Homo-oligomer: A and B are copies of this chain.
């Protein structure tokens, strides 16, 4: 089946505004199917879940829980009990830091991160390490933005308690060898968390085949609404973790004298959850499943190749990171003499939305010795012509700043 990008774009009302949206690694656009799923909840059976003793609540609960089954299938998890709803990647990683980390880490323990990480996969571990007296070590990159596997192997010899790294870098686009890294880390006895914020939308994962213990990602980067994400956790690991947020619904019984928690995943879902957003996320899974994740990846690869080719023809322009085949739909670059922010402002005048800044990856910026880069990122709806408009805008900026 041909990948029909125009047909796909017709599902996204936002494109009627004329925007050239090249910031999907930040947050994606959402198709009307996702918006309709939420509106259906709000207008047809709006009610709270689990607790109700009436029909609306039952329908809402079914819709809400059906997303768990979709997530299970998307990830190839063993059980829906391994699917915990969160607000997004950041909450998922924090949940692990609090519920698993606070319980299991002690002074002197080693946590291995990489220099490619997003702040959300750094700061929770810094706080945890400071609290417990644990150590953090960082895997560096080579000149093409690839993780230094020799260094990683050396760190594994120190028997880290936890290894946490991104499947795909949001700042450089690097696709890490996550399956191999997980296998090596598991063999070294470490717990493995994969930050799937960029991986889930653009590549997907088979958590059983990869064998990671945790996989955190955000719905809003994969066509879903803001406000809902997923933490996958291996059932045995989830079961022996402490709860994180406490309150209504995550309990079995509450007595003045003490509380018995519910079973996983309910134990981690306290209070009224983002019901409509979880339902919207379900529609996003459906949409991506309809396209097929391999088609999504193929389309992005095509866009990335096209963009890298086009950018290579612009003078005084540096691209960071590996070749297209080793990268997600993300291109970070720098134009000589034009600060990324100025570039973004000028592109904005051409209706082109890119991101400029540190991409929540300051340690990586320090490593590259830049304070900011410009970043264009692509998704299911990106067209060649949009990349052309961006290139035109870059050349315009060069004329202005000449």
Q: Tell whether, in the assembled complex, residue B48 and residue A23 are in contact, meaning their CB atoms are under 8 Å apart.
A: yes
A126 to B44, CA, bound (A): 38
A251 to B270, CA, bound (A): 26
In the complex, whether A237 has a CB less than 8 A from a CB of chain B is: no
Q: Tell whether, in the assembled complex, residue B54 and residue A347 are in contact, meaning their CB atoms are under 8 Å apart.
A: yes
A16-49 at interface with B (beta carbon < 8 Å): 16-17, 19, 21, 23, 26-27, 29-30, 35, 38-39, 42-48
A244-271 at interface with B (beta carbon < 8 Å): 245-251, 253-256, 258-259, 270-271
A51 to B354, CA, bound (A): 11
Supply 8 A–B pairs (Cβ within 8 Å), ascending by A. A26-B48, A91-B271, A119-B247, A119-B251, A123-B251, A124-B246, A126-B259, A249-B360
Q: Which of B57, B249, B277 contacts A274 (CB 8 A)?
A: B277
**Which B residues are CB-close (under 8 A) to A123?**
246-247, 250-251, 254, 259, 270
Known: A30-B42, A35-B43, A42-B14. A122 touches B54 (CB 8 A): no
A90 to B301, CA, bound (A): 42
The interface stretch among A179-187, A219-227, A286-294 is A219-227
In the complex, whether A323 has a CB less than 8 A from a CB of chain B is: no
**Which B residues are CB-close (under 8 A) to A16?**
43
Q: Which of B45, B225, B258 contacts A42 (CB 8 A)?
A: B225
When C-beta atoms are compared, the residue in chain B nearest to A121 turns out to be B247
Give the shortest distance, in Å, between A51 (CB) and chain B (any CB): 6
Known: A13-B43, A256-B366. A53 touches B348 (CB 8 A): yes
Q: Which of B44, B88, B271 contacts A88 (CB 8 A)?
A: B271
Copies of this protein in the complex: 2
A227 to B269, CA, bound (A): 13
A344 to B51, CA, bound (A): 12
Q: Tell whether, in the assembled complex, residue B23 and residue A247 are in contact, meaning their CB atoms are under 8 Å apart.
A: no
Give the shortest distance, in Å, between A266 (CB) and chain B (any CB): 13
In the complex, whether A89 has a CB less than 8 A from a CB of chain B is: yes
In this complex, the member of A35, A39, A56, A123 whose beta carbon has the largest number of chain B beta carbons within 10 angstroms is A123
In the complex, whether A70 has a CB less than 8 A from a CB of chain B is: no
A97 to B227, CA, bound (A): 22
A355 to B50, CA, bound (A): 11
Q: Tell whether, in the assembled complex, residue A248 and residue B120 are in contact, meaning their CB atoms are under 8 Å apart.
A: yes
Task: Give 1 or 0 for each of A199-220: 1 = CB within 8 Å of chain B CB.
Answer: 0000000000000000000101
In the complex, whether A357 has a CB less than 8 A from a CB of chain B is: yes
In this complex, the member of A38, A93, A225, A352 whose beta carbon has the largest number of chain B beta carbons within 10 angstroms is A225
A90 to B48, CA, bound (A): 15
